[in-house]
Structure 1
Amino acid sequence: MSTDDALLNRAKALRLNGLVEHWDEIAGAPWLAPMLQWEEEERARRSLQRRLRDARIGHFKPMADYDWLWPKRLDRAAVEQLMSLSFMNDATNIVFVGPNGVGKSTLAQNIAYQALIAGHSVLFRSASEMLGELAALDSDTALRRRLHHYAAADVLAIDEVGYLSYSNRHADLLFELVSRRYQARSTIVTTNKPFAAWTEVFPNAACIVSLVDRLVHRSEVIAIDGESYRLKEALERAEAQSTQHRSRPASTNEKEYVA
């Protein structure tokens, strides 16, 4: 394929119909290739911004700042492999299991962001937000439309399963969503409860065994053990502030009071 044909195909892909219509008049112009590149880069930038806004991943600590030495147990090699997004090739699910504050959400956010950068559609929602939204819909049409919205994303991250308990209707909605994505698209879940304790999260729900079965059938389960990293950071900030206060010179009023 000639350079001119390649440029023409790029113009068609961008749907620059005016340029395509007058291609014979502008083919070979020195400004044509840079202009197409500028248009492609700008559209890619706007697409990323839009997908970032829709994904709602939120603020998170990048993997470069993640303290791998803090958790007592975490398979770093497995997490780094997940960052390559190879799990998406066969719609593998990811489940991060561990106590509060060990970085489950941070890892999920980084993987979701990596998928966004690679051009995939991503949705990141807390379990309470998503299930509450679905349960509040009062028409079958609206519910079907919203379920399709969540089911269609290349990557759906469901954060904080297990921090609240839910009704049977919430359980049925989650089962319906997981079933729609089953073996078709990857789902990321973070939870502070082992699967055996999900009956506490969804008490009396008949679908829990089937839900867990579909979720873990083709999945990478990453267990994290350790103390809360958030608590560690809070204690470090408190200690730093205390040290700063002790080293601060006394003000004039303080000196007069001591005198």
Structure 2
Amino acid sequence: MKKTVNELQDQFRQLRLSETAEELPQLLREAEKSSWTYLEFLESITRYELAKREAKSFEKRMKWARFPFVKSLDEFELNGQNVLTARQLTQLRELSWLEQQYNLIILGPPGIGKTYIAIGLGLEAVSRGFNVYFATMGELVQLLKTEEYLNKSKVQLKRMRNADLVIIDDLMYMAMDQREANLFFHLINHLYERSSIILTSNKSPEEWGNMIGDQGITTAILDRLLHRVEVIQGGENEESYRMKNRKSIF
């Protein structure tokens, strides 16, 4: 009987049902113990394989997303902030904007939770089966400048261009030169109406032209970003989320 089970396991592997192949002895023991019908046994096998595949797929999507930290929006404190209302947060978590390829621009001073909200929405998207890619503006510029000669940069940018949701954190935190601005424009142009983009920035779109330095490129970038967009504005007097939730030694 043991040889027969081993042969079945090999056949499952040939059919690319590797997870079921490993678990087959345990599934057979449970079937005998519980007197499963043939249908119950087949249902158990397919359910197990699908669950394992989804878990592996989720792990892969999380790895590719490259989140700097993982925090659910369930932990986000709505009280004492004026960035989002509870209703707005609920609407965003439904991800209808992502399905319709809308962009989100989250503006406001440092520390009010812009990155937290962006990553939280990214986690929601990953859990729903979407491919997500996160990068700070500094990381993105470096990837774009080295794509021609670094294989690692090519791989990362390919994942970004194929993502359903791209999160760019700290947009326009530093000025760009002409080459960087051109590379950034071509990326935005590629993502336009292919993917949704979440941008966080402590500078308003009116100030972006000063950071890019080329009004024509700025206009072209804004034209694509603002075509289908929801802008979320945090108040200038908003207290820093980090300070409100800081941990103290004493």
TM range (shorter): 0.7 to 0.9
Deviations 1:155-213 (A, max 9, x none): 11111112222222222122111111212221111111100011232223630111011
Q: Distance in 1 between matches of 2:143 and 2:153?
A: 9
Q: Distance in 2 between matches of 1:44 and 1:105?
A: 27
What residue is the counterpart of 1:132 in the other structure? 142
Q: Distance in 2 between matches of 1:143 and 1:58?
A: 18
Q: Percent identity?
A: 28
Q: Distance in 2 between matches of 1:203 and 1:70?
A: 37
Normalising to structure 2: TM-score of the pair? 0.78
Indicate how the Cα distance of structure 1 residues 42 and 227 shifts in structure 2: closer, same or farther if over 3 A, else same.
same
Indicate how the Cα distance of structure 1 residues 73 and 144 shifts in structure 2: closer, same or farther if over 3 A, else same.
closer
Choose from 50, 60, 67 the match for 2:60.
Answer: 50
What residue is the counterpart of 1:150 in the other structure? 160
Q: Distance in 2 between matches of 1:73 and 1:110?
A: 14
Conserved 8 A contact 2:144-2:184: no
Q: Distance in 1 between matches of 2:156 and 2:61?
A: 17
Aligned-residue CA RMSD in angstroms? 2.7
Indicate how the Cα distance of structure 1 residues 45 and 60 shifts in structure 2: closer, same or farther if over 3 A, else same.
closer
How far 1:121 moved relative to its partner? 0.7
User: What amino acid sits opposite 2:216 in the alignment?
Assistant: A
Q: Distance in 1 between matches of 2:215 and 2:138?
A: 17
The count of corresponding residues between Structure 1 and Structure 2 is 218
How far 1:62 moved relative to its partner? 2.2
User: What amino acid sits opposite 1:106 in the alignment?
Assistant: Y
Q: Distance in 1 between matches of 2:53 and 2:109?
A: 41
3-state SS of paired residue (2:97):
helix
How far 1:75 moved relative to its partner? 3.9
Indicate how the Cα distance of structure 1 residues 68 and 16 shifts in structure 2: closer, same or farther if over 3 A, else same.
closer
How far 1:233 moved relative to its partner? 2.8
Structural mapping, 1:85-96, within 5 Å: 85-96=95-106
Matched, 1:77 2:83: no
Deviations 1:79-135 (A, max 9, x none): 321110100222101111111000001100011111100011111111110121111
What residue is the counterpart of 1:231 in the other structure? 243
What residue is the counterpart of 2:190 in the other structure? 180
For structure 1, the 5+ residue unaligned runs are 1-10, 20-26, 243-259
Conserved 8 A contact 2:143-2:153: no
User: What amino acid sits opposite 1:150 in the alignment?
Assistant: M
For structure 2, the 5+ residue unaligned runs are 1-11, 21-36
Conserved 8 A contact 2:66-2:133: yes
Matched, 1:115 2:125: yes
3-state SS of paired residue (2:245):
helix
How far 1:60 moved relative to its partner? 3.6
Conserved 8 A contact 2:168-2:199: yes
User: What amino acid sits opposite 2:240 in the alignment?
Assistant: S
3-state SS of paired residue (2:110):
coil
What residue is the counterpart of 2:112 in the other structure? 102
User: What amino acid sits opposite 1:66 in the alignment?
Assistant: F
